[in-house]
Structure 1
Amino acid sequence: MSEAPPPDVAAADVPAARPSATPLPARTSLLPLWPGEALVVRGGEVFVRTTPWTGPVDGAAEDAPRERALYVHGLGGASTNWTDLAALLAVRFDGWALDLPGFGRSQPPSRGRYSIRGHVRAVVDVLEHVVAQPGKAAGRPVHLLGNSLGGLVSLFVAARRPDLVATLTLVSPAMPVYRVPPAFSRALLLLLVPGIPTLAARRMGGITPEENVRGMIRMCFGEPGRVPPERVEQAVQEMRERAQQPWAGHALTRSMRGLITSYLRVGAANAWRAARTLRPPTLVLWGARDRLVDPAMAPRLASVVPDARLEVLERVGHLAMLEAPEATARAVLGMVEEAAACREPRAAPGLATQRETLRS
């Protein structure tokens, strides 16, 4: 428990994210889901969707940056959680978004174990695949973005394989906490008891897709009433597809168990210690109305990451990439543009001085 930082860290102690002014594509109310295919990884295969690079909005693509990004969803989510954000970031990135083992259209792990370590292995395998693809950015590190469980997994990936990660974006990552809200404590602790995850999966199987989606919206969105009806229906259709998979309930409950178990780890396996070793430029992004992971964690996490900047979005909940994709995209691009400028010899000294001023 001593791995976690003190609770009295203020947001002023870390640099604020600087939103990019890069023009972004006009958003439509409902984008189609990006296509994808199965990819073999250690322990099985995962489904990966791809979002092609579009280049700048003004069409001046000749010398425009073209890099690569990988998106990792949270517990109970899927690659489709990144549809809107990936479309906006396509001005700079070719995007890949995977369904973690057992989620979305991905098969369950071959041994049926939903550990954080297993999810980390799957993400590393997908990153290596992305890096190896031919094209302008072949062989270069990838921009890694993760939400909730996917944020925790991405943090471990970046700590263990910094050679694969250009920048890291953590959207409400599921960092270890040692004081669980009273409403959740009993249910969460029961998941550690052998046999309970199976019972929980059966009980969840009795919830209709409509009830599931509306409950998720109430819990995860800062302003549930603003979710367009067509978005709700799209999510319901996706949930119906998922409900037909016999392993869906097990994937959720056993991944939750794996998440809680990971909180008990100490030493190098502890997420707070891993955060202190991160080398890539990192964006810590949170919704001020996050009901699942306390927004007070945001400045605490940013304060321990060596090269972090912080963005807290007002009136936004746990899924900023879904609820506020444009603000999220601008924060991500701002970090990426700053990191690129730091790599330019003439720009680096000024930006370095600027960063030291912000930290002082």
Structure 2
Amino acid sequence: MPSTEEQRVEAALAAAEGWPGVRAGETIRTVTLPGMTLAVRRRAATADGLEPALLVHGLGGSSRNWSSLMELLAGDLECEALDLPGFGASPPPDSGDYSVIGHARAVLRELEASGRGPVHLFGNSLGGSVVTRVAALRPDLVRTLTLVSPALPELPPQRTALPTALLGGPGMGRLLRRMTRALSPEQRARDVLHLCYGDPSRITPEEFSAAKAELERRQSLPYFWDSLTRSARGLVNAYTLGGQQSLWRQAERVMVPTLLVYGVRDRLVSYRMARRASRAFGASRLVVLPEAGHVAMMEFPDLVADAFREFRAATAPGG
């Protein structure tokens, strides 16, 4: 009989094989770490000796959310993006811990195991709160921090974000499963993209097709709703923490240069939080994109890439 560890690795390899939305120049591999197996998407760099970067997606997302940005930065960075436990092609963690701290632990273990640090660390939404904790705890592993619409405590949240905040409530997974059962994969993918994009007309046919295929595959997994709702609950719980564990207090502890990117049309994280964030992160540069929504790195990857290049040049020694 195969062990639980062997079964987990086999499941992860099967999940990663043929995962939808893998672009030319990208590969997906699995990394076995204590208590978890992670899928890591790699973009082939166009030059040798580039500094490494690690990119972390948001709630309900995957490493594919960074594909466009990684392609644009292939001449600047050696890019890898991971699927958090229970998302993308990564199976659930053995512990069942989907808290922000649990996800941060996954990022830290990958950084330690890969030996790639210090890295340019990127995070979007939930991933933004996760990498904020990582940068606060282990500055030795982080070269710079780039946050795209980071999920930092906003109480009360804006009205359009309330359904996402309620996602972690008791029984919501079963309720949402029943509510969405009648929706076609096309409609479900369209609803998600329209929520995240500031201008839905910018959704390309390629993006829509990849999002539909990935959502269809993920919703067939037995742990899909559990990982989604428990991660949402973990994020809500992180918003309520006080003292040294507060995400805003963690932000104040980040000493590495930080780039903050907010979209004015964001329906999930209000751009009005940008000013507070720029005060919390001491060495920060703020970029506000008037037409962008929640996933600026997907909607305006060229602008985000340019902003990062300027930020990196300004924060480099002698910059």
TM class, shorter-length: 0.7 to 0.9
User: CA offset at residue 252 of structure 1?
Assistant: 0.9
1:319 corresponds in structure 2 to: 295
Q: Which runs of 5+ in 2 are unaligned?
A: 1-21
Q: 1:244 to 1:32 in 2, by over 3 A?
A: farther
Asked if 1:73 corresponds to 2:65, the answer is no
Secondary structure class of the residue paired with 1:68: strand
Secondary structure class of the residue paired with 2:150: coil
Contact 1:204–1:249 (CA<8 Å) still a contact in 2?
Answer: no
1:94 corresponds in structure 2 to: 78
Contact 1:145–1:154 (CA<8 Å) still a contact in 2?
Answer: yes
Asked if 1:153 corresponds to 2:130, the answer is yes
- Matches of 1:311 and 1:120 in 2, distance apart? 25
- Matches of 2:209 and 2:245 in 1, distance apart? 40
- The TM-score with structure 1 as length reference comes to 0.78
User: CA offset at residue 204 of structure 1?
Assistant: 4.5
1:247 aligned to which of 187, 206, 223:
223
- 1:189-338 aligned within 5 A: 189=166, 191-193=168-170, 195-201=171-177, 203-204=179-180, 207-338=183-314
- 1:37-116 aligned within 5 A: 37-55=29-47, 66-116=50-100
- What are the superposed Cα offsets for residues 229-276 of structure 1, whole Å, 9 maximum, x if unpaired? 222112111112212211111111111011001111011111101111
1:188 corresponds in structure 2 to: 165
- Matches of 1:187 and 1:87 in 2, distance apart? 30
The count of residues paired between Structure 1 and Structure 2 equals 298
Counterpart of 1:89, as a letter, is L
Contact 2:142–2:256 (CA<8 Å) still a contact in 1?
Answer: yes
- Matches of 1:187 and 1:236 in 2, distance apart? 20
Contact 1:209–1:243 (CA<8 Å) still a contact in 2?
Answer: no
2:139 aligned to which of 162, 182, 204:
162
- Matches of 2:180 and 2:95 in 1, distance apart? 22
Counterpart of 2:118, as a letter, is P
- Matches of 2:194 and 2:75 in 1, distance apart? 32
- Matches of 1:210 and 1:36 in 2, distance apart? 25
Comparing 76-85 with 231-240, greater Cα deviation is found at 231-240
Contact 1:205–1:249 (CA<8 Å) still a contact in 2?
Answer: no
Contact 1:42–1:121 (CA<8 Å) still a contact in 2?
Answer: no
- What are the superposed Cα offsets for residues 181-219 of structure 1, whole Å, 9 maximum, x if unpaired? 3455477357344x4444445544554321221011211
Asked if 1:125 corresponds to 2:109, the answer is yes
- Matches of 1:282 and 1:201 in 2, distance apart? 38
Q: 1:150 to 1:303 in 2, by over 3 A?
A: same
- Matches of 2:122 and 2:67 in 1, distance apart? 13
Secondary structure class of the residue paired with 2:270: coil
Identity of aligned residues (%): 42
Comparing 164-173 with 245-254, greater Cα deviation is found at 245-254
Q: Which runs of 5+ in 1 are unaligned?
A: 1-29, 56-60, 133-139, 352-360
Secondary structure class of the residue paired with 1:222: coil
User: CA offset at residue 317 of structure 1?
Assistant: 0.6
RMSD of aligned alpha carbons: 2.0
